[in-house]
Structure 1
């Protein structure tokens, strides 16, 4: 989200990180989960996002380990080729992330538009 005052804009970006500074969840992880939901598998999601399977899996694995909860339910291959679905926790995490992002965007916009560049 961006608020404008003339030619200057405020922008904000929200992500979660651990104590080591590693990203745990943010817009990129959100897009991965959305792609898994749309495509039905981690491999198809990686292709749709033009990312390697290894990179996508690595990001999901870091998030699952840091949060201590699975984000995906994986089914093995076979004639149907396997696939992945999101866990209920993944859906909750996505909803909460979007809510947090909206609140932060709204508050940043309001502060900026209230005279951030022209303090009195």
Structure 2
């Protein structure tokens, strides 16, 4: 047996605003320097990735990435300081919640070996 935890930030209408998908997209942007390459690496259409990111930025009031358009060296994207700060705080929160949930799961079900899944 194992515990699976999925955290999401929801708006007042119950709509998902931020979660593991946006985290992965932002980390891929950081890794590749490009929203387009990040989307491709996740098998997402660029337009879908852009929409997800734009919606998170709008609802949270945060600019996650700075975009540069084409030019001699091509365009690209990079995380803003504000975006990186939010992402790092969210990931820290996520880790803390998971550890706490794992401990609570182990206390409630000591007969099961402590095995967890993200």
Q: Same fold (TM over 0.5)?
A: yes
Shift of 1:66: 0.5
- Superposed displacement of residue 79, structure 1: 2.0
TM-score of the superposed pair, with normalisation by structure 2: 0.87
Could you say which residue in structure 1 is the equivalent of 2:81?
A: 88
* Larger CA Rg, structure 1 vs 2: 1
Note the 1:39-58 alignment, pairs <5 A: 39-58=32-51
Q: What is the alpha-carbon distance in structure 2 between the residues aligned to residue 79 and residue 41 of structure 1?
A: 16
Q: Which residue of 1 aligns with 2:31?
A: 38
| Consecutive unaligned residues in structure 1, runs of 5 or more | 1-7
CA contact (8 A) 1:73 1:84 kept: yes
Contact 1:69 1:89 in 2 (8 A): yes
**Equivalent residue of 2:3, what SS?**
strand
Mapped partners of 2:80, 2:56: distance in 1: 13
The count of aligned residue pairs is 111
Secondary structure at 2:66's aligned position in 1? strand
Any idea what the Cα deviations from partners look like across 1:72-112, whole Å, max 9, x if unmatched? 11111122221111001111111111111111111111111
Give the unaligned 5+ runs of structure 2: 112-118
Partner SS for 2:108:
coil
Which of 52, 62, 69 lines up with 1:59 in the alignment?
52
Q: Which moved more, 1:105-114 or 1:56-65?
A: 105-114
Q: Which runs of 4+ in 1 moved over 4 A?
A: none
**TM-score if structure 1 supplies the norm length?**
0.85
What is the root-mean-square deviation of aligned Cα atoms in Å? 1.4
Q: CA separation in 2, counterparts of 1:74 and 1:35? A: 14
1:5 matched residue in structure 2? none
